[in-house]
Structure 1
């Protein structure tokens, strides 16, 4: 993969600066609110929404995709109110990530991926990610050089390389990175690669393999994976969305209605369990985003049959 390696390589000084910037952004996201007015801890979503992914930027807004039709809802974290900003294409929206240019990168399950303007709701680009079937584009994370997507049914990561000023690639610009090393794919439709995040130092990616409960560190230049040593922690068999802030890793355990919290080594090769977060409002939460000292999790309610009048919500807890 020489072209990929050159594309994502960066000067050490620049990499250190970017790592500092990322750490500063993470600290800002978890800074305690300065005002005394309480923000809601439950944010209602439209009936029948079927949420999965959530993304929060610098502003007090959460963006949530719909598994039902791929629409995007924007919720005001201060008031709990919101509106649909983009009508979906009729295919699911799974994981979401928001960049500093106001663009939402959306994993679209078997439909691939699309990029949406978070202000206007316009679709900026669409991509076919998988070269084989079955495929399940599940989650996405952004680095300085690319948007990276997991596939729960194939042992591969997909990258959308970003050009100068964050320019999006053309439709044929998708890079496919096969997974090697410690990765052992579970066949038969099991959920393999799921949530994805960056290591604290930005040197690699972390991916949870839900079905077997393992956390992997992945070298984006080679695709080589190594199992992260989490000590005596229980297997992450319900591991879903991941969030890394500083050296803290949050792992959403969907059907356990919990978040497991770990302290990671800077390079992400090891970690230690610190605590578990639960809340009465959790109803199969799937992913997590942070803002001003809180964690926000959409309740997918996978144990409740979806219907047009099924209620859904986002639950906020202290980080």
Structure 2
């Protein structure tokens, strides 16, 4: 698959990035958090390989970040403590992508395979391929992923579907025929055939449902989805729009939603049916953000640099910012 095909179909719905050393513009006022040295002095910029073209990020319990590439589907792992990185998995080659990623409690890395229509499960320590699953149809682009206690759920950018990889009683991975294809219904508004619609996905604070970004409906909206039957209800966000939001993260009752040039911070109710924007983060290091992950008191965001055409020499990175409102320990 060529990069130009991704661009025409709208890369901003398949992965982009945010970052920053932090200016927090709270709704109704402005507060600034000055950058200062962290107690552990971990780096605030993580270098990725030249030409990598990141689309997503995952951080698990261990202090490592995983990044997926749109060009061939490689996965790169970086130590948050040192900034040193290595190729964990070389990818499945031409025509494949690695878009959204997430790590589960067993240290397994789930990778959304974009146009390749493949869900890949890797050993997060060795990069060994544990399982692959083929999903969807010819028009499917497997976009982003969230791992819950019962399953890993993936969005389909173009078809109003979620794909579920259900776990066994002890977290066992299923056979191919157990993978669930779940049509979205209820309030869900699907875009046209060539319009990216479903992008980021997360779990509600009460862990009973899923939150899915719809980047095309009404300027960019959020839906609460019942994983039992696919019924979607629009989340009331008080007018907040999410037109270029991709990989989202929910931490406690806070939703972090990257937009093209900033990061929206939203306080949700426990059920995830309502939310209100409580701030937005902007930073001069933001270079078109696509996803966000939380580790302790930091947020990590890869910079996609879209629409810059990647070359083998194009530089890419991810940045760390303090969790808004918590400041930076000294």
- Give the TM-score taking structure 1 as reference length: 0.86
Aligned-residue offset at 1:35: 7.1
Aligned-residue offset at 1:136: 0.8
Show the 5 A alignment for 1:26-37. Answer: 36-37=39-40
Structure with the bigger RCO (C-alpha within 8 Å, sep 6+) is 2
Q: Provide the rounded CA distance (Å) in 1 between the counterparts of 2:71 and 2:254.
A: 32
Change (3 A) 1:42 1:35: closer
Q: 1:14 aligns to what?
A: none
Residue from 295, 302, 306 that aligns with 2:306: 302
Q: Provide the rounded CA distance (Å) in 2 between the counterparts of 1:179 and 1:35.
A: 43
Show the 5 A alignment for 1:224-263. Answer: 224-233=231-240, 235-253=241-259, 255=260, 257-263=261-267
Q: 1:173 aligns to what?
A: 178
Q: Provide the rounded CA distance (Å) in 2 between the counterparts of 1:188 and 1:151.
A: 12
Q: 1:264 aligns to what?
A: 268
Q: 2:30 aligns to what?
A: none
Show the 5 A alignment for 1:42-61. Answer: 42-61=45-64
Q: Provide the rounded CA distance (Å) in 2 between the counterparts of 1:87 and 1:316.
A: 25
**Secondary structure, in 3 states, of the residue corresponding to 2:178?**
coil
Change (3 A) 1:261 1:35: closer
Q: 1:92 aligns to what?
A: 97
The count of aligned residue pairs is 283
Residue from 274, 291, 310 that aligns with 1:287: 291
Query: In the alignment, is the contact (CA less than 8 A) between 1:162 and 1:168 conserved in 2?
Result: yes
Q: 2:131 aligns to what?
A: 125
Q: 2:227 aligns to what?
A: 220
Aligned-residue offset at 1:110: 2.2
1:78 corresponds to 2:81: yes
Query: In the alignment, is the contact (CA less than 8 A) between 1:192 and 1:209 conserved in 2?
Result: yes
1:314 corresponds to 2:299: no
**Deviations, residues 11-36 of structure 1 (Å, cap 9, x unaligned):** xxxxxxxxxxxxxxxxxxxxxxx972
**Secondary structure, in 3 states, of the residue corresponding to 2:170?**
helix
Q: 1:192 aligns to what?
A: 197
Query: In the alignment, is the contact (CA less than 8 A) between 2:159 and 2:193 conserved in 1?
Result: no
Q: 1:15 aligns to what?
A: none
1:65 corresponds to 2:46: no
Change (3 A) 1:96 1:172: same
Change (3 A) 1:35 1:309: closer
Q: 1:159 aligns to what?
A: 164
Q: Provide the rounded CA distance (Å) in 2 between the counterparts of 1:290 and 1:125.
A: 26
**Secondary structure, in 3 states, of the residue corresponding to 1:172?**
helix
Query: In the alignment, is the contact (CA less than 8 A) between 1:263 and 1:274 conserved in 2?
Result: yes
Aligned-residue offset at 1:146: 0.5
Query: In the alignment, is the contact (CA less than 8 A) between 1:279 and 1:317 conserved in 2?
Result: no
Q: 1:206 aligns to what?
A: 211
Aligned-residue offset at 1:58: 1.4
- Give the TM-score taking structure 2 as reference length: 0.83
Aligned-residue offset at 1:129: 1.3
Q: Provide the rounded CA distance (Å) in 1 between the counterparts of 2:126 and 2:42.
A: 26
